[in-house]
Amino acid sequence: MTSSVNHTCDPVVPSVNPFFMLVYSLLFLVGLLLNGFVLKFYISQTQQQASSSLMVYLKNLTAADFLLCLCLPLRITHYASSSGILHRLHCSFGATSLYLNMYTSILFMGYIAVNRYLKIVHPSGTHVLQTVRSAHIVSMVTWVFLLTLTITYNIMFFITHKPLTSYPGYCGDFFSTSFSVLHKTFQISCTIIFLSVFICLVFFYYSTSRRVLQAQQTQLASSEKLVKSRRNMLVLVSIFCVCFVPYHLVRVPYAFLWKSSVGRLLYYLKEVATMVSVFNVCLDPLVYFFLCKTFRAHVRKASRRVNNPNKQTRRVRAATSQTNEL
């Protein structure tokens, strides 16, 4: 009991808050620009998206990243303000929106990896899981499942949260005994999802690397394609590890030990790891660039337009003058 009171009376030192505000503001602006650009591409390529299950998963991954960007202002406001109401919103809606978009991204990265792996295993055929219909069903079930979990979590939080007379230092200060058990169960379940996808990604990359080695030893004509497939899988695994492994190394220990003597240290490690996990909104466009040939062409076209604005202007003027002459 004493430990809990000490944490409430000895809140988190706010001197680091400007740092978190700055980083999250940069992530918000850059992530919004990058994912807005990707969404614009998907909107302009609607007919081509429907022909590929990979495009369905990439589109859903983009949607998850874009939604996470829209939720970042609440997190920034939380660091900027000492309002108890804002802190309660941060610990309920802010936390669950982060979980929703993080685990949606984790699962869709897993689906993309499965899709690429099946294409390597069955290069001449189409597995049932690679069909567009299956991709839409899997995507819908994923969103409904995770939305149900986050809505349930929020409802239970507001029903059971403890009224506090002072500003809480930690979100755990709001938790009742029953909700604390639910919170720990929620964290363990999310970690199981993460570990399942992580093991699959490592297995897929290992299997792809073995196939590349075998193809190179036998000098198969398909070895170059397999090398590209391994590179794409490496991009997925690298982004996944950089963004999500640190968070899960800290999150579960923090859920169980936040009241202990190492609680404050775990809190700051958790906050830094969360910030790193949000960095995936800026890294995921690399997945689209390497996995989607049409998107690469779109980026190069946009890059040429930016680098040669005068040339583009001259073309427009030439076309206008020709029209006027006619």
User: For the segment 185-232, what is each residue's pLDDT rounded down to a tens digit?
Assistant: 888 999 999 999 999 999 988 888 888 777 767 766 566 777 788 888
pLDDT band at 5 (very low <50, low <70, confident <90, very high): very low
Per-residue pLDDT tens over the stretch 22-58: 999 999 999 999 998 888 888 776 655 456 888 899 9
Task: Give the pLDDT of residue 166.
Answer: 59
The answer to whether residue 85 is domain-embedded is yes
Task: Give the pLDDT of residue 72.
Answer: 92
Task: Give the pLDDT of residue 80.
Answer: 86
The answer to whether residue 12 is domain-embedded is no
pTM given for the model: 0.84
The answer to whether residue 69 is domain-embedded is yes
CATH of the domain at 164: 1.20.1070.10
The answer to whether residue 269 is domain-embedded is yes
Q: What is the mean pLDDT of the chain?
A: 82
Q: Average pLDDT in the 112-119 region?
A: 88
The answer to whether residue 323 is domain-embedded is no
Residue 322 has pLDDT above 60, yes or no: no
The answer to whether residue 326 is domain-embedded is no
The answer to whether residue 322 is domain-embedded is no
Task: Give the pLDDT of residue 92.
Answer: 86
Residue span of the structural domain in which 160 resides: 2-6+17-317
CB atoms within 10 A of CB 53: 25
Residue 138 has pLDDT above 60, yes or no: yes
The answer to whether residue 143 is domain-embedded is yes
Residue type, 146: L
Q: Average pLDDT in the 155-164 region?
A: 82
Per-residue pLDDT tens over the stretch 234-261: 889 999 999 999 999 998 888 888 788 8
Give the chain's domain count: 1
Q: Average pLDDT in the 282-292 region?
A: 87
Place of tokens 């170059």: 224
